[in-house]
Structure 1
Amino acid sequence: MTEAGKTPWHIWLVGILAVLWNLIAVTDYTFAKMKSDWYMSEVSQFTAEQIAWFGNFPLWANVGWALGVWGSFAGSLLLLARNRHAVTSFIISALGLAVMTFYQFGLKKDEFLGLFGPGPMYFTIVIWAILIALFLYARAQAAKGVLR
């Protein structure tokens, strides 16, 4: 347990960085679901074929994408709130990310790599590393009694 319930400085650092990191995914997800031509073609610079790729996800892949994005964002906010449910949120996010990873690189690998190249595959590895680190950090803070 922390001294007199004081929030350790690193919770603020990790929590704020996690929220900022996850806002990127929240922005991408939101604008993709809104079918924003401006964001998808101008900001993200996707081609029409790439934009169509996002619109053609089966329902279960869309659910995975939503769980991945919103689970991690919620986990980051819960971490800042020192809530033990941050751990659960990061687990939910990992399940969603696993579904999307399976869809993109398991079932549709050739099509995905043909449209986007190998860059997103490497970026997915970075996403996994950060998500696992956030989960392990939240779990450690919960075990120490920092998260209640």
Structure 2
Amino acid sequence: MATTAQGRTPVHLWIVGILALIWNGIGCYDYVMTRMRDTHYFESMMPGTDPNEVLAYIDSFPVWAQSGWAFGVWGGLIGSILLLMRSRYAVWAFVLSLIGAVLGLGYQIANPGGPAAMHEGAGAVMPYIIIAIAAFLAWYSWNAQKKGVLR
């Protein structure tokens, strides 16, 4: 039996929505700490890396890549909230988030300068994981809207 917008919220929507809210909340925290230029944050995230080198690298990004990052994280957070509210606008927010992630992280992937910690180990694969999760959330919300779960 298919769940409609008038029926109960499917359990998987709550699971995906809450996990998406946590995930995108972490992204927003990272964005805010970076914009506040919190060197202690970078020291804890990348021990042994000069925080000022990381900030200089991020500052060197063109405005479109930095804007993409902002749209990516804030669009994801708004999309997560809208998904939990079962709003059809979650689809648009997640699509905006995906476009932002591709722009911001795509620049980072294509221009591997800056601190080694951002391009080795977890730093090397994280941009791809972020883009994959953004794509999944856009697909998931679109599919939920198509099935009538979102209003």
Fold-level match, TM-score > 0.5? yes
CA distance in 2, matches of 1:97, 1:117: 17
* 1:29 aligned partner: 31
CA drift of 1:42 comes to 3.3
Question: Following superposition of structure 1 onto structure 2, how do residues 115-126 of structure 1 map, counting pairs within 5 Å?
Answer: 116-118=118-120, 119-126=122-129
Query: RMSD of the TM alignment (CA)?
Result: 1.9
Moved over 6 A (4+): none
Structure 1 stretches of 5 or more lacking a match? Answer: none
CA distance in 2, matches of 1:114, 1:37: 17
- Structure 1 residues 82 and 4, CA gap change in structure 2 (3 angstroms): closer
CA distance in 2, matches of 1:140, 1:103: 29
- Aligned AA for 1:32? T
* 1:65 aligned partner: 69
How high is the TM-score relative to the length of structure 1? 0.87
1:140 counterpart = 2:143 = yes
- Structure 1 residues 142 and 3, CA gap change in structure 2 (3 angstroms): closer
Describe the SS at the equivalent of 2:9.
coil
- Structure 1 residues 3 and 124, CA gap change in structure 2 (3 angstroms): closer
CA drift of 1:114 comes to 4.2
Question: Following superposition of structure 1 onto structure 2, how do residues 89-100 of structure 1 map, counting pairs within 5 Å?
Answer: 89-100=93-104
- Structure 1 residues 44 and 29, CA gap change in structure 2 (3 angstroms): farther
Structure 2 stretches of 5 or more lacking a match? Answer: none
- Structure 1 residues 146 and 22, CA gap change in structure 2 (3 angstroms): same
Identity of aligned residues (%): 38
Q: Which has the higher helix share?
A: 1
How many residues in Structure 1 have an aligned counterpart in Structure 2? 146
How high is the TM-score relative to the length of structure 2? 0.86
